[in-house]
């Protein structure tokens, strides 16, 4: 019986920790209005990049195919080295984009 109580207590603590971790991660999501994001022309949707303001933009370039994106290319979001590890949209883009080597 004691082991069963321990198990359920650990499951409850683990679930609470996981929920807290998810909340903290969401708080670290980069906003387009962030000063660093504005300075690099970050857009959460690369198709909305103003090509006149961002002449280095190349069609098809997005965070998920950038060398600074620290997640799988298929992930919706991931940490970015250009923004101190804040989460960026995989479908986003900024002027720091560096194509991943093949």
Q: What is the pLDDT of residues 33-62, one digit of tens each?
A: 999 999 999 999 999 999 999 999 999 999
Q: What is the 3-state secondary structure (H, E, C) of the chain?
A: CHHHHHHHHHHHHHHHHHHHHHHHHHHCECCCCCHHHHHCCCECCHHHCCCCCCCCCCCCCCHHHECCECCCCCCCEEEEHHHCCCEEECCCECCCCCECCC
The CATH number of 29-89 is 4.10.490.10
pLDDT for position 2: 60
Taking only the tens place, the pLDDT of each residue in 55-81 is: 999 999 999 999 999 999 999 999 999
What is the pTM for the complete model shown? 0.74
Q: How sure is the predictor about 83, in pLDDT bands with cuts at 50, 70 and 90?
A: very high
In this model, does residue 98 exceed pLDDT 70?
yes
């Amino acid at each position: 019986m004691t082991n069963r109580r321990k198990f359920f207590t650990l499951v409850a603590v683990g679930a609470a920790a996981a929920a807290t971790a998810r909340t903290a991660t969401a708080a670290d999501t980069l906003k387009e209005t962030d000063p660093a994001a504005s300075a690099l022309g970050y857009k959460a949707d690369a198709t909305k990049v103003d090509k006149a303001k961002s002449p280095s933009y190349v069609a098809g370039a997005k965070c998920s195919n950038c060398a600074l994106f620290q997640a799988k290319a298929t992930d919706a979001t991931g940490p970015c080295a250009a923004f101190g590890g804040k989460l960026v949209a995989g479908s986003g883009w900024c002027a720091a984009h560096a194509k991943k080597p093949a």
